[in-house]
Structure 1
Amino acid sequence: MVARASSVMTRGVVTVRPDSPLEDARALLTGNRFSALPVVDRGYRLVGIVSTLDVLRAEVEGRAGARVGDVMTREPMAMSPDSPVTILSHRLRRYGERRVMPIVERGVLVGVVTRGDLLRPPDRRSMFDRLLGAEPDDPELPPTDEARVGTTAGEVMTPLADLVVAEPSTPVSAAAAWLSANRLTALPVLDQDDHLLGLVSEADLVPDRLSGRRGPTAARVGEAMTTGVTAVRHDVPLVKVARRMIKHRWRVLPVLGDDDRVVGMVSRGDLLRAESPPPEPDAPAATGTPPPE
């Protein structure tokens, strides 16, 4: 039996309107750990999609006060509920920037499928529940990330203590479950001394049968991870980090300390949540006789 998009898609989708302030999209993306939001009109018809990359680019360009419709991708790729999951997987994996596929029926948005959805275990509801359209139990979602104040990668990153980290010996099945449950793009793979060995991402693990890939053939993360990944130093200014992430379309960057050990990860979401430190108070006026020249 061919699995269809309707069997893996998420219903009850969070959306925004094209006339919504970009700040609204920013809050929804960061508060829910979403990478993109479908944009719909009053009739719930899909008119675009807005991503963390779109919002981050607008902020770097000084357009944070824009409307969603000004920065969204118009006429985004979408699929129907009857689309085979094999084609869905292929498109979500082939197009590296795409993590969210809108599911549309007669022009109306009815759901989305993410790479994380494709990494979840098969639906274990009874046949009776599936026929009635009953929704599966919602997984326990991770807590909302807190905004951090700072101007460098190290000040706004998610620190190592709060990260989900893999080792080369971690089972691939465990890494896939962690990525899906926590709505993460990638996990850092570290050795016992916290040195960076690579990243294991959704794209590394999502099956793509149309490309001859039934799923990761490796049993352990060390055989499936991407090596030679780029990292950033903890003292690099946020503007520079943001511009590099926009240019290369990176979603996350490991952050290294002075000893070249991983101290955290910085994501697009971290950059969008970041708050600038309050301005320093004006220095008190000098009193007394000034020193000689």
Structure 2
Amino acid sequence: MRTTVKDVMTTRVTTVREHAPFRDIAEVLVTNGISAAPVVDGDDRVIGVVSEGDLMRKEEFREQYSGESYRPSRRSQLRRWITGQHEAGERKAAENTAAGLMDAPAVTVSPFASISRAARLMDEHGVKRLIVVDDQGRPSGIVSRRDLLKMYLRDDDETRRRVVEGIPSHARWDDRDGIIVEVHDGIVTLSGQAGRRSEAKTAVQTAQRVEGVVDVHEALSWREDDVVTLPVTWDRP
């Protein structure tokens, strides 16, 4: 059974309206102990995300308001160039509503997406959390890196069950013959003898695909080698 975002996400979502003023946004973040909140329009559809960092632009560029010059550090400038936000800081410092302060569009994910999909989205966009939206674009949850780590806390017996379910029954036996599955601290060990080499290969691939598996150790043999390895040929120039 595949683990989805819905299985690990936080269902409590605190949002702010697109026209919410600066102070109200700050109060929402501080009162709820959160670092960012989805911004929704009049139909409750997610249109962006506003964070503590967006609000802190006021302080970062405050010197400009008193006539003093300010230039972000080289490190900050490089980070913003990499993330495509090199021009956003000063603009956000002059904004006073969620619509002007937010990052848009928001990085969202479906509640039925796989854990792997969520992890890839976080990596691609350089974010620590994703807004989970329904098919109407309305928020139904938040999934963070910490939520994704929950799958590594799964009981070893449950992990073993999921691995065993994915291996064809005719290739599996837990006594004197067949593929033996053992799990310790999330590490799967496959031992024993499969009927065919292709069955052993399938068992390894099955274990590797199970969410929460830390590693797969293979100690398998087989009676029949039915995997055809094509010879490598090199064309002369």
Name the TM-score, length of structure 1 as normaliser: 0.39
More helix by share: 2
TM-score (norm. length: structure 2): 0.48
Q: If you compute each CA radius of gyration, which structure gives the higher value, 1 or 2? A: 2
